[in-house]
Amino acid sequence: MAAASTEPPRLKQLLERDPYLEPFRTDFQRRYSLFYNHLKNIEESEGGLDKFTKSYKTFGVNQLADGGIYCKEWAPGAEAVFLAGDFNGWNPSSHPYKKLEYGKWELFMPPEDGQSPVPHGSKLKVVIRAQNGALLYRISPWARYVVRDEDKVNYDWVHWNPPQSYIHKNPSPKRLKSLRIYESHVGIASPEGKVASYKNFTYNVLPRIKDLGYNCVQLMAIMEHAYYASFGYQVTSFFAASSRYGTPDDLKEMIDVAHSMGITVLLDVVHSHASKNSEDGLNQFDGTDSCFFHSGYRGNHQLWDSRLFDYANWEVLRFLLSNLRMWIEDYRFDGFRFDGVTSMLYHHHGIGTGFSGDYNEYFGLHVDEDALCYLMLANHMINTLHPECITIAEDVSGMPALCRPVAEGGGGFDYRLAMAIPDKWIQIIKELKDEDWNMGNIVHTLTNRRCEEKYIAYAESHDQALVGDKTLAFRLMDAEMYTNMSVLMPLTPVIDRGIQLHKMIRLITHALGGESYLNFMGNEFGHPEWLDFPRIGNNESYHYARRQFNLTEDDLLRYKFLNAFDRDMNKLEERFGWLASPQAYVSEKHESNKVIAFERAGLIFIFNFHPYQSYVDYRVGIETPGKYKILLDSDAGEYGGHQRLDHNTEYFSEQYPHNYRPNSIMVYIPSRVALVLHNVDIPK
């Protein structure tokens, strides 16, 4: 069907909000037309988006109510398709699929004495007769459970149909106004050098997350990946929850328990590329180099050494959209963080390309509009069928309108990651003396975001925790973390500086940088070691593939101070909701004093980044008159500070304009200290 020219219903609002987009009106019209015509074709050919995205219930191997088995695959390059496994003694030809239109194949197996012909827990393979006559033993792209025996290299497909599956008991939380995200990896969520389990996360980590004041968990590396050290980014089985941590029911229980605590659970979804594995992955499933992927050069990511999806293909859309639907409806995930969105959006995949912010970089032939259309369809489907779900884009390019509704011609995401912020902190710490920190540059980086697109601010994520990089704590304190973090040791200048700046960087990022906040597990207390998965290069060691949560529980170690500050910072946001409030008003960014002051959610935030200069009777401009008191003080003793402030002090406003504010207060602000004040005349 030829694409009709269709304008997004609310494009006018988008262009009024950002007039610089007006020259690209036709690009928005073309993108929306592609989306609209896909949607129309799905309605006409598949019976609607709801039915189309439930294909995970018919494709693969599915149990019928009467005990029979229905199997369906898409293998356009196959000459014949069979099902083999434990159930038929691995006979490669006894159970042939029937060929259907458009490269699809189906097989129906009736029940045997009222029982399933394929028992729960038995191994299976789809057998593909390729065009050259070779028999290829493949795992179904729709397989729901794959496992690997310790003595094997490849994963095996196991039919998952337990007599009693886990039943969710708790409703999903309502959509949160303020997202405080704890980015997590189940396998490393233990102090022990091993692959930790879903059960461990459920009973040992979720309570910690709740106590720290995070209300959202973002789970990485859940979609099955054969190579553990890929951090879950080389997916082999898109519909299978990783078996290295436990069973599908263990994951369902983990999500259910999180919901009982009021914690939203997001899945880190990798639809930007796929593993090159063919024995236990999607690659060459039907014996060709295409099928789910572009053929030839276009189907390979030169840096990631992985396969790239053909987003224009009807069956690829079915596969990926159904994949999202399955994770929401079977496992009860509350949304997704889409990985590698920049790679999807552009034919150059962001390789060797810098983004200056020039709008011409986001429009034109270098944009992969088929991939963008897929993302629009995905967000439209989620928003229509599960409006409580949240979607986040990991896009370094800054594509305009990516986080505006599809009806405006946007990508439909709810949030995007503020990826410039962690890079800025690394650059500052790495390149500048403390005396040379530029307050205006810090504020600009934290506030430079697109109007009415929500950003997730973070000082560091898993990217900065990986071996080859350094966490902020390690950049600040380096080797002294191994020798001088005991309270029994004198507080050295390096440790003192590191602890104070670690707290300040996190609070200013949290309060000024976005409409949501993210932290990678362990970084909240300055985890002393980087993250490195077992691999040949480290003799398959698990020493760095763990999180030493026990360090926060040792009263003799200073990690407890950072942990306590992170908890109280989150609890304060929960109380006042600054992430859901309008962007802050920055009244001061004083270069020589190294002071930043701003107001948000009725609170006053004051940061003195000066390495040694404290200020008595420092005037700070404010909007609302009244009596103010300290709510959070990074210099408090429980946070490893020097206790230079009296928390009983009351600060009375004066009708003395300062820094374009009608009122002001005078405060004592010691060096390397962050303060949060509130107006006690306004109850909260």
pTM of structure: 0.96
Spot the catalytic one: 183, 224, 268, 394.
394
Half-sphere exposure of 372 (CA within 13 A, CB side): 31
Half-sphere exposure of 185 (CA within 13 A, CB side): 27
Structure tokens at 611: 């390495």
* Strand partners for 307: 274, 300
Q: Which helix (H) or strand (E) holds 416?
A: strand 415-417
* Strand partners for 234: none
- pLDDT at residue number 26: 95
Q: Torsions phi, psi of 582, nearest 5?
A: -55, 160
Spot the catalytic one: 280, 286, 339, 408.
339
- pLDDT at residue number 4: 52
Q: Which of 464, 488, 486 is nearest to 476 (CA)?
A: 464
Cα separation of 394 and 271, whole Å? 12
User: For the chain, what is the radius of gyration of the CA atoms?
Assistant: 27
DSSP string for residues in 66-84 = TS-EEEEEE-TT-SEEEEE
Which whole-number Å values give the CA distances from 62 to 53, 54, 598, 660, 665, in the listed order? 16, 12, 57, 66, 68
User: Averaged in consecutive runs of 10 residues, what is the pLDDT profile of the chain (684 residues)?
Assistant: 71 94 96 97 96 98 94 98 98 97 97 93 97 97 95 94 94 95 98 97 98 98 96 97 98 98 98 97 97 96 96 98 98 98 97 90 96 98 97 96 97 97 96 97 96 95 84 94 95 98 98 98 94 91 94 97 98 98 97 98 98 97 97 98 97 96 98 97 80
* Strand partners for 663: 622
State yes or no: is 339 an active-site residue. Answer: yes
Structure tokens at 213: 């004041």
- Burial (CB < 10 A; 0-12, 13-18, 19+), residue 607, is buried
C-beta contacts of 240-244 below 8 A and 24+ residues apart: 240/143, 240/144, 240/145, 240/146, 241/145, 241/331, 242/186, 242/187, 243/145, 243/146, 243/147, 243/148, 244/148, 244/187, 244/195
b/e 165-184 (16+ beta carbons within 10 angstroms → b): ebebeeebbeebebbbbbbb
The single-letter DSSP state of residue 661 is B
